[in-house]
Amino acid sequence: MEQIIISILKRTLIAGTPLLLGTVGEVITQRGGIMNLGIEGMMAVGAVSGFIVTFTTGNPWLGMFASIVMGALISLVHGFVSITLKANQVVSGLALTMLGLGISGLWGKPYIGKPLEMKMSAVKIPVLGDIPLVGDILFNQDPYFYISVFLGIAAWFFLFNTRGGIAVRTVGENPRAAETQGVNASVVQYLCVMTGGAFSGLAGSHLSIAYSKSWIEGMTAGRGWIVVALTIFAMWDPRKAFAGAYIFGGIFVLQYLLQPLGISPNFLGMLPYLTTLAVLFIYGISKEGHRKMNAPAHLGEPYIRGER
């Protein structure tokens, strides 16, 4: 029994890792006022580029690095269209999703069905890893887990306890106010979009070089859209993203475990989306709730400099 619980919790954290990475990245992007719905596409690009580089070099760390770079690069499509050309961010994000899924399919075609020889395997942290129960769950994971936890905390610290974080949040709330304080809103937004892209790319390569160790077309399987939901669920706060990612990750794990008990995996599959709608609904009822939601005031709207 104990083994089962340990296993479930461990797999929950693993399943939650790409969700956490993607969500933290999208939180940063949206805090800067840009809504990027293209996470699914960026994840796919990250997954395939991470896989290809790992496969050819035999070094998963290089693969991880490649996924970060490619994620950031592909996000520039959205950045250029929505920041410089001030186009509709919803449509641009959808375009990025299609583009990313398409490119990943095209690039990954020759690698389908080829397993990785070198993969990102679990690293047991000395001493801490020997703590009973907790040690095995928290300190005997693959490096992605540690990195994602670190990045999540770092993102929270950055957003709320540094001057750069204030600049990002100000741009997302009131870009004109930021400009009058000498902050270049467009540059900040580009950086936010690219950070989001890098995080999504990283999340994608977790799937291909640590989680399943192979490339399958469409392996992101809707995680990018869960991230969109999680960003709202977390109310644009990286701390709450931890809770959300692991809860939703846990649902993934339980989907198939609970099936024999007569609980439909599809019903569990709906839960992330239903809970997000519920959160929106509960906070949407009152004005006070809208304020508590803390949605960036300028989210999704293009900022046109000098317009009065």
Partner 1 sequence: MKGITGSLLNYKIDVAPREEIKGWVSSLIALISLLAGLSVIGLIFLLKGINPFYAIFRIFSGSFGSMYGFKETITKAIPLILIAGGLTVVYRGKFWNIGAESQLLAGAAAATWIALRWGPFLPGGAAVPLMFAGGFVGGALWGIIPALLRVRFGINEVISTLMLNYVAAEFIKMLVIGPWKGKTQFGYPYTDDFPESAMLSILPGSRIHIITLVIAVAAVVFLFFLLFRTRFGYEVRVIGENQEAARYAGIDFFRTTVLMMVISGGLAGVAGVGEVAGIHHHLTYPESISSGYGFTAIIVAWLARLNPVLVIISGLFFAGILVGGDAIQISLNLPAATVNVFNGIILVFLIMGEYFQRNRISFIRIGKKWNR
Partner 2 sequence: MHRIKTLEMRGISKSFHGFYANKNINLKIKSGEVLGLLGENGAGKTTLMNILYGLYKPDDGEILINDKSVRIKSPKDSMGSGIGMIHQHFMLVQNHSVAENIALGFQDVPFFFPKKYIREKILRISRQYGMEVDPDKKIWQLSAGEQQKVEILKALFLEADLLIMDEPTSVLTPQESDDLFEIIRRMTEEGHSIILISHKLDEIMSICNRVTVLRKGETVGEALVSDIDKKELARMMVGRDVFLTFDKKPMPQGDKVLEVNNLVVLGDRGNKAVNNLNFSVYRNEVFGIAGVSGNGQRELVEAITGLRKSHSGSIMLEDDTITNESARVVNTRGITHVPEERIKFGIVPNLFIYENAILKKHHSSPFSRLLFLDYDLIKEHTTNIVEKFNIAAPSINVPVKSLSGGNIQKLIIGREIESKPALLVASHPTYGLDIGATEYIRKQILNRREEGGGVLLVSEDLEELFEICDRIAVIFKGEFMGVLSAGDSSIKDIGLMMTGSLRLDSENNCRTDNKDNGADK
Q: Which two tokens stand for residue 209?
A: 């070089």
DSSP per residue over 71-128, as a string? HHHHHHHHHIIIIIS---HHHHHHHHHHHHHHHHHHHHGGGTTPPPSS----EEPTTG
292 touching partner 1, by CB under 8 A: no
- Phi/psi at 140 (5° precision): -135, 60
Give 97 or 141: the residue with its C-beta nearer to partner 1: 97
Q: Which stretch binds partner 2 (CB under 8 A): 38-46, 105-113, 169-177, 256-264?
A: 169-177
Residue 124 pairs in a beta bridge with: 140
Q: Which of 53, 210, 228, 230 binds partner 1 (CB under 8 A)?
A: 228
Q: Are 48 and 215 spatial neighbours (Cβ–Cβ below 8 Å)?
A: yes
Query: Minimal distance in Å, beta carbon 283 to partner 2?
Result: 14
Q: Rounded to 5 degrees, what are φ and ψ at 133? A: 60, -75
> In the complex, what is the shortest distance from the CB of residue 239 to partner 1, in angstroms, rounded to a whole number?
21
Q: Contacts with partner 1 in 158-217 (CB under 8 A)?
A: 217
DSSP-assigned beta bridge partners for residue 217:
none
CB of 306 to partner 2, least distance (A): 7
Stretch that binds partner 1, among 116-124, 133-141, 201-209, 263-271 (CB under 8 A): 263-271
Q: How far is the CB of 41 from partner 1 (least distance, A)?
A: 7
Q: Which residue number, 132 or 306, has a Cβ lying nearer to partner 1? A: 306
CA distance 29 to 78: 11
Output the six-digit token pair for 213.
């160790």
**For partner 1, which is the closer residue by CB, 117 or 307?**
307
| Identity of the residue, 131 or 270, whose beta carbon is nearer to partner 1 in the bound complex | 270
Dihedral angle of Cα 93, 98, 100, 104, to the nearest 10 degrees: 170
> In sequence order, which residues have a C-beta less than 8 Å from that of residue 209 and are 6 or more positions away?
50, 51, 54, 60, 63, 64, 116, 119, 120
Site residues (vs partner 1, CB under 8 A)? 35, 37, 41, 77, 81, 85-88, 90-92, 94-106, 108-109, 217-218, 222, 225, 228-229, 232, 264, 266-267, 269-270, 272-274, 276-277, 280-281, 284-285, 290, 300, 304-308
Site residues (vs partner 2, CB under 8 A)? 161-164, 166-167, 169-170, 173-174, 176-183, 291, 294, 297, 306
